[in-house]
């Protein structure tokens, strides 16, 4: 590993230097990390009650462990759908209670942090905000787990130093997320860096999940790359699901239909069982 122990001191609390064993983050009693496979699923953006509730029922039935939905949407174009904001958070909370799933939603600013924190169980800091240091510091004062996504052009070291900001402010409950990085390639939305899973697992005790939806931007690539992430050792996945992707207000091309997600869940659960069993045999 090219990152020396001296450099690891820059993220010492997030590194194996301070904690050798893997951390497990509890989300309303549900473990994220270790040998547990976490699957966060739901729509990119919360659009209306029917969409949110129908998707929640579908992903719950398929075995998802957390429910996602975007209420505040940081979009590249100012003319794109920006989200339902607090009304969306109310729908997400109600849907989560209906199907008994903890909820995840993105917080995009310190100004709206308290509002998001009031409604959801896990606060997501997106790729565009990975180095928004005031937001990271505010997340460090929260009592709720933080899902931290890797920035589009961030190195592994910068990714872990962003996590260090949160831990150093008092919140050790961080779930890291590899969601693809920006390269010269334009065929996919981003380039999924599965080596980041291995690097983070070597350098850090924090759990790491993979988001193949944002990494590829293509629904037909999500299933094989989700399976590859599980084999690589990711602690979970984040998958976008929409009952009718062709009319989605946000990221329809990278969303799975519920029946496709159901099939994927069956495959990754069997794959995870196999890889976990293989690991137990090797360590005996």
Q: Each residue of 149-193: pLDDT tens digit?
A: 999 999 999 999 999 999 999 999 999 999 999 999 999 999 999
Is the per-residue pLDDT at 115 higher than 80?
yes
What b/e readout covers 7-44, taking b as 16+ CB neighbours within 10 angstroms?
ebeebbbbbbeeeeeebebebeeeebbeeebbbbbbbb
Report the CATH architecture of 5-263: Alpha-Beta Barrel (3.20)
First to last CA, the chain: 26
User: In angstroms, how far is CA 7 from the centroid of its own chain?
Assistant: 26
Confidence of residue 283 (pLDDT cuts 50, 70, 90): very low
Q: Alpha carbon 61 to chain centroid distance?
A: 20
- Tens-digit pLDDT profile for residues 67-89: 999 999 887 888 788 889 999 99
Neighbours of 224 (CB within 10 A): 13
Residue whose structure tokens are 């896990």: 122
Which pLDDT score, from 0 to 100, does residue 6 have? 74
- Is-contact 207 236, C-beta < 8 A? yes
Instruction: Report the alpha-carbon distance of residue 135 to residue 117 in Å, rounded.
Output: 13
Q: In this structure, is the dihedral angle defined by the CA atoms of residues 2, 5, 7 and 9, taken in order, positive or negative? A: positive
């Amino acid at each position: 590993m090219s990152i020396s122990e001296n450099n690891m001191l820059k993220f010492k609390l997030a590194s194996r230097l301070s904690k050798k064993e893997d951390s497990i983050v509890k989300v309303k009693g549900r473990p994220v990390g270790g040998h547990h496979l976490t699957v966060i699923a739901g729509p990119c953006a919360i659009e209306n009650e029917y969409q949110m509730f129908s998707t929640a029922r579908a992903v719950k039935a398929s075995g998802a462990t957390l429910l996602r939905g975007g209420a505040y949407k940081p979009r590249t174009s100012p003319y794109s759908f920006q989200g339902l904001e607090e009304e969306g958070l109310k729908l997400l909370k109600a849907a989560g209670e209906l199907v008994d799933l903890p909820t995840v939603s993105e917080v995009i600013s310190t100004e709206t942090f308290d509002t998001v924190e009031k409604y959801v169980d896990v606060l997501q800091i997106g790729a565009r905000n990975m180095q928004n240091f005031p937001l990271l510091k505010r997340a460090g004062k929260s009592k709720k787990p933080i899902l931290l996504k890797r920035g589009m052009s961030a190195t592994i070291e910068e990714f872990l130093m962003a996590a260090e900001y949160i831990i150093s402010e008092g919140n050790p409950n961080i779930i890291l997320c590899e969601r693809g990085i920006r390269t010269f390639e334009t065929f996919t939305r981003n380039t999924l860096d599965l080596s980041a899973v291995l690097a983070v697992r070597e350098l850090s005790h924090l759990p790491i999940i993979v988001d193949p939806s944002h990494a590829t931007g293509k629904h037909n690539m999500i299933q094989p790359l989700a399976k590859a992430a599980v084999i690589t050792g990711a602690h979970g996945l984040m998958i976008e699901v929409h009952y009718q992707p062709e009319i989605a207000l946000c990221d329809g091309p990278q969303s799975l239909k519920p029946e496709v997600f159901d099939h994927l869940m069956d495959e990754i659960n069997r794959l995870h069982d196999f890889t976990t069993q293989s690991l137990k045999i090797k360590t005996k």
